[in-house]
Chains A and B, each alone.
Chain A
Amino acid sequence: MSEEMIKYYYLCNVCGTCRQQCTVFRTNLLESLTPRSRIAIAGELYLNKMGITKKTIESIFSCVLCGICENACPSGAKVLETIKATRNYIIEQGEGPEDISKLLNSIMEEKNIFLLDNEDRMSWADNIEDIIKDKIKKKAEIALFVGCQESFKGSLYNIPESLVLIFNKAGVDFTLLGEEEWCCGAPYFLMGIKNEKVEEIVRHNIEKMKKLSVKKIIITCPGCYLAWKEEYKKIDTELPFKILHSTEILAELIKDGKLQIEKEYKKKVVFQDPCDLARHSGVFEAPRIILKNVPGLELIELEREKVDA
């Protein structure tokens, strides 16, 4: 049991400001699903004043870790740290949700979150095989880390595919790990689990990138991006790569005049900042630079945007 569980129990002044912000709570308005209740539950578990119950699990695991509560919290409670530590404790007690166990086991066994054969990790690139075939595991300064979701989920194939087509057009040389890419490990970090097995996954990805003399790693998935940017450096403090979100390199290419968007799109669009990219990683401007450079496109900001999204 980690002390992180009790760290903010007394600091939280239970003002309930987090109630107004928490998106999970607002869907059902149950007090046990407020961030302040999650802090209380973690503390009571730590103090052995209550046991793990059905609603405890629901409360602790339903949090999406968006972090908006931490922005609002006047006491500065680190709600996310508390929740991760409590998840870890519940999982260690064998009481974690079954689906979570399946997902975590899948990462260990198959190196991806879908219990699929990792040999199929390049399925997403079937339409662009000609461009990609010579890129896999070739040395290059820039590497694309695709992530499980976009590698295996058909509806998301177009994301890495589009990025490759853009790179191709802009003359950006890049490499990929192919079937040697393993899950980034983010689901373990979200469960507060840091052990040798998780380190092994992280080190595998790092070593494979190092072998290809990579200097910049480009990631489209904000979840993988956050894992690489924040968690990997905790395991390898001398990470020799610059971690960039795909929007960051695209914005750079636009700024440098290497990428020009010619086709006009006369549309009004909004950009919803992903929590992992915006609030947790501070990337706000890059996506907006891209959108503002699309001829005819009108970007409308949502009432709650950037850090407040």
Chain B
Amino acid sequence: MKKEDILAKLIDICGINDVSIDDADLIATGDWIAKGLEAFYKDISFKAGFLVTPKNKNEIIQIVKYANKNKIPIIPRAANTSLGGQVLPIKENTILMDFGVHMNKILEINLQEEYVVVEPGVEFWFLQEKLAKDGYFFPAEPGSAFSCMIGGMVGNNASGASSFRFGTTRDYVRGLEIVLADGSIIHTGHKKNEKSVAGYDLTSLFVGSEGTLGIFTEIYLKIQSIPKNEISVVIAFKNLDIAFKAIKIIRDLNIDIALLEYVDSMTITGMNANLKFRLKKGIIEKKIKVPKRDGTLLIRLIGPKYKEDLQKLQNAMNNSEIFGENLPKIVVLQEPIEQKHLWDARHYAGPGIARSMDPPIVPRIFIPAVLDIAVPPSKIVEFLKQAKTISQEFSILPITFGHIFDGNVHLISTQNVTKENISKIKAYQEKILAVVYSLGGTITAEHGVGLWKQQFLEKEYGKATIMVMKKIKQSLDPNNILNPDKMGVGEIPTIVDFEGLGEKR
């Protein structure tokens, strides 16, 4: 298919202002790992053929029908904040379909039935601001809350630090309007009904399908009233062991916890770097500093009994009969703005670490496979200890933080991949993953499969399960046009020989 013919057709459908073949629109600007992954895939430029910004579902239907007939790849894209290479174009003439420009409207807010209907390009923070005026919110908050869009959240089943309390995006999607690969349109679920077991749960199938099965044009989300009151507490123990002893106690306290995060001392360095920057700039007025200790827990308590809960928590943590001389440093943050800055700093701990180094650590190619693992919560200490030992063995500086109650650990290595150390890094990755699997864990708890993690799926599920996934994909998208060769259901692109990797960069 000639590029100019595709361009002419797209312009015919969307108009000249909503189609671009300009490099500035086509480069992979929005995926953190794109810059790293580029080096792993031979002959893939990660550059789309076309950017289209459709104005409505009719334009989407026309584009999809045309693309399906001519086997042209389409990648639906929201805010470009995915972390697995989900929206990286890997095929020639890929049409990047961006919803942020036009399809960004909240179509309906129904407080009585507690739902909203939105287009995929609605930004999460924008929806939250609108809902907050009526005392409501959409609770599935990911780390990218400042920038992500609902379409991307649903496409990736986004979740975050508070998922153990509030669930993931999937738990809030009541239904979807979807354009399928043949251009037909379907509706799943019921926007007004919380409960329904009528037929297969197609909504759940499409949520988290990473754009491989259909394109969302309307999303029906369940909303909730905002929990009243919140207070944040930093509990800093000397080391990991004591912190996890404390977690067991906290779990049995029967208090309403919205967030419980473990952060290591490197993460705290990153948090404090950002807090210091904000203080210096005058963005925050009062100094907030997280004690730099290896067994630090960040907790947010919510609900009407939050004061009582705080007291229970403080009493339990200050119990010298249990902790002996290892009582923690406790910092309580009451002001909403202070709490916001604390949690912002936690969200941005990774970049904060980079900025705190002099010169800043700039990992040009990092280790994508160990970024977002999860193990059963009871195995989390074991994982962290083994990961630390392996990291030491490989002289790699690990940064770990995680959502303790759901076992999700983010392990970031600041190692820059070079020609000299690439084999070592490959071995490191394999060793860490072996630990993850031996503990019954998963390669990705939040970030998704996308491009890179496809290679590990079969190991995690086995051939038969992957075959079912492939059959689903084939039946819904027989021409493989929707985000092709991602999610482990297409042809997995060949990864460059690790030995040759350093040369490309």
Contact = CB atoms under 8 A, between A and B. Distances in A.
A36 B29 contact: yes
A37 B283 CA distance: 25
Nearest to A76: B355
A32 interface: yes
Interface string A41-54: 10010000111011
B23 A74 contact: no
Interface stretch (B141-149, B193-201, B237-245): B141-149
12 contacts: A10-B363, A13-B354, A16-B79, A16-B80, A17-B146, A19-B79, A31-B25, A31-B30, A53-B24, A55-B20, A56-B22, A71-B281
A10 B24 contact: no
Given A16-B79, A20-B146, A71 B32 contact: no
Contacts of A282: 282
B25 A74 contact: no
Interface in B163-207: none
B65 interface: no
B31 interface: yes
A29 interface: yes
A51 B22 CA distance: 10
Contacts of B282: 282, 284, 306-307
Contact of A75 (B27, B30, B80, B354): B354
A20 B125 contact: yes
Interface in A1-55: 9-11, 13-17, 19-20, 28-32, 34, 36-37, 40-41, 44, 49-51, 53-55
Contact of B147 (A15, A49, A54): A15
A97 to B, nearest CB: 15
Nearest to A74: B348
Given A15-B146, A17-B146, A75-B355, A51 B281 contact: no
A72 to B, nearest CB: 8
A71 B347 CA distance: 15
A308 interface: yes
B286 to A, nearest CB: 15
A58 interface: yes
With a 10 A CB-CB cut-off, give which of B32, B34, B364 has the most chain A CB atoms. Answer: B32
A24 B220 CA distance: 30
Interface stretch (B96-104, B225-233, B474-482): B96-104
A205 interface: no
Interface string B17-56: 0001011110111111011000000000000000001000
Given A11-B362, A29-B101, A307-B282, A40 B27 contact: yes
Contacts of B350: 13, 74
B436 to A, nearest CB: 23
B80 A14 contact: yes
B277 interface: yes
A308 B282 CA distance: 9
Nearest to B38: A49
The binding surface of chain B is classed by DSSP as: loop
Contacts of A71: 281, 283
B296 interface: no
B30 A16 contact: yes
B406 interface: no
B100 A16 contact: no
A19 B31 CA distance: 14
B148 A16 contact: yes
A175 interface: no
B80 A51 contact: no
A56 B355 contact: no
Nearest to A284: B282
A17 B125 CA distance: 11
B32 A14 contact: yes
A59 interface: yes
Contacts of B23: 44, 50-51, 53, 55-56
B274 interface: yes
Nearest to A9: B35
A14 B31 contact: yes
Contacts of B25: 30-32, 55
A258 B59 CA distance: 67
- B contact residues, range: 35 or more
B375 to A, nearest CB: 25
A246 to B, nearest CB: 22
Contacts of A55: 20, 22-25
Given A76-B277, A307-B283, A53 B101 contact: no
Contacts of A75: 351, 354-355
A249 to B, nearest CB: 22
Given A29-B100, A30-B25, A74-B352, 4 more contacts: A10-B35, A14-B81, A20-B147, A37-B29
A58 B362 CA distance: 28
Contacts of B362: 10-11
A55 to B, nearest CB: 4
Interface string B252-284: 000000000000000000000010010001110
Nearest to A28: B101
B330 to A, nearest CB: 26
A47 B123 CA distance: 32
B283 A19 contact: no
B29 A14 contact: yes
Contact of A53 (B22, B29, B104, B354): B22
Nearest to A30: B101
Interface string A290-309: 00000000000000001110
B440 interface: no
Nearest to B273: A76
A72 B347 CA distance: 12
B27 A10 contact: no
Contacts of B24: 32, 37, 41, 50, 53, 55-56, 58-59
Interface in B119-170: 123, 125, 144, 146-148
B100 A74 contact: no
Contacts of B30: 14, 16, 31, 36-37
Interface string B339-354: 0000000011011101
Contacts of B347: 74
B304 interface: no
With a 10 A CB-CB cut-off, give which of A9, A15, A19, A58 has the most chain B CB atoms. Answer: A15
A16 B362 CA distance: 18
